[in-house]
């Protein structure tokens, strides 16, 4: 427990991360912490290592060096089984292009994480419908991803990421493929839902308007973290 005056312990903490892809060092000692309930924007130019950082923090890839600690557990040392459990229960991930399963309807895409966690189909679909309604796309629940607009598909992806009630949402350029209006709608929905649920959000973006939704902003440059202005 923290004593009075101490900063809160981050829910998710990365220290001195190094990660190379085919000889190219994407991360060169990056460190960052995410507090419970915080919305943190990580900005930087294309190729600065933003997505690699997110993948390490979400346990999707393991860093070559450094540590990632989530709620007292070393993610970089966990088994694939335990990492899979965390991704089904504690983590939600939204990618730039949604990565919805094209053969499934919007409803079934959102219900899928619940089904994988062992929720009964009827219950999973009912909860998925509630989340689609929350994001304003329940009328499109029987449509497949190819029949949705970009903004609709991204809101379905948000619903899928949040349906399990995660403690951390990882959003990798969630507005990068959208026009300004659709991007604003997606970010408004994400921030409102995160505030309501108390989820922390790690937001990867190169867009200043998107970063402005965050409580705090840090910048990556050539794989290392630089401080940036607090945005709220």
What pLDDT, on the 0 to 100 scale, is given for residue 8?
72
Q: How far apart are CA 140 and CA 197, in angstroms?
A: 24
Contact in structure between 170 and 95 (CB atoms under 8 Å) = no
| pLDDT score of 225 more than 90 | no
3-state secondary structure 93-116: EECCCCCCCCCCCHHHHHHHHHHH
Bigger pLDDT: 40 vs 178:
40
222 by Cβ neighbours in 10 Å (0-12 / 13-18 / 19+) ranks as middle
Across residues 111-116, what is the average pLDDT?
A: 92
What pLDDT, on the 0 to 100 scale, is given for residue 229?
40
40-70, pLDDT tens digit by residue? 999 988 888 899 999 999 999 999 999 999 9
Predicted confidence band at 227 (pLDDT cuts at 50, 70, 90)?
Answer: low
| Total-model pTM | 0.87
DSSP 48-91: SSHHHHHHHHTTSS--SEEEEEETTEEGGGS-HHHHHHHHHHTE
Q: Where do the domains of the chain lie, and which CATH numbers do they carry?
A: 12-226 (3.40.50.300)
What pLDDT, on the 0 to 100 scale, is given for residue 112?
94
Q: Decide: helix, strand or coil at residue 208.
A: helix
What pLDDT, on the 0 to 100 scale, is given for residue 6?
58
Predicted confidence band at 176 (pLDDT cuts at 50, 70, 90)?
Answer: confident
What pLDDT, on the 0 to 100 scale, is given for residue 231?
37
| pLDDT score of 232 more than 50 | no
């Amino acid at each position: 427990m923290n004593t009075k005056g101490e900063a809160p312990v981050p829910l998710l903490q990365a220290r001195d991360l190094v990660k190379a892809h085919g000889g190219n060092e994407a991360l060169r000692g990056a460190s960052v912490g995410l507090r419970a309930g915080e919305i943190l924007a990580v900005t930087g130019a294309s190729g600065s290592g933003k997505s690699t950082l997110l993948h390490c923090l979400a346990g999707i890839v393991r860093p070559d060096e450094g540590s990632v600690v989530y709620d007292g557990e070393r993610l970089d040392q966990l088994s694939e089984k335990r990492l899979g459990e965390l991704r089904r229960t504690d983590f939600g991930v939204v990618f730039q292009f949604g990565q919805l399963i094209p053969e499934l309807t919007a409803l079934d895409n959102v219900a899928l994480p619940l089904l994988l966690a062992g929720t009964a189909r009827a219950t999973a679909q009912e909860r998925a419908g509630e989340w689609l309604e929350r994001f304003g796309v329940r009328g499109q629940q029987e449509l497949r991803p190819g029949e949705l607009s970009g903004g609709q598909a991204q809101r379905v992806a948000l619903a899928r990421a949040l349906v399990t009630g995660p403690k951390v949402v990882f959003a990798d350029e969630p507005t990068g493929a959208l026009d300004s209006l659709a991007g604003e709608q997606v970010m408004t929905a994400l921030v409102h839902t995160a505030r309501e649920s108390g989820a922390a959000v790690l937001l990867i973006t190169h867009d200043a308007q998107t970063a402005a939704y965050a409580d705090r902003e840090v910048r990556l440059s050539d794989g290392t973290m630089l401080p940036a202005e607090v945005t709220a």
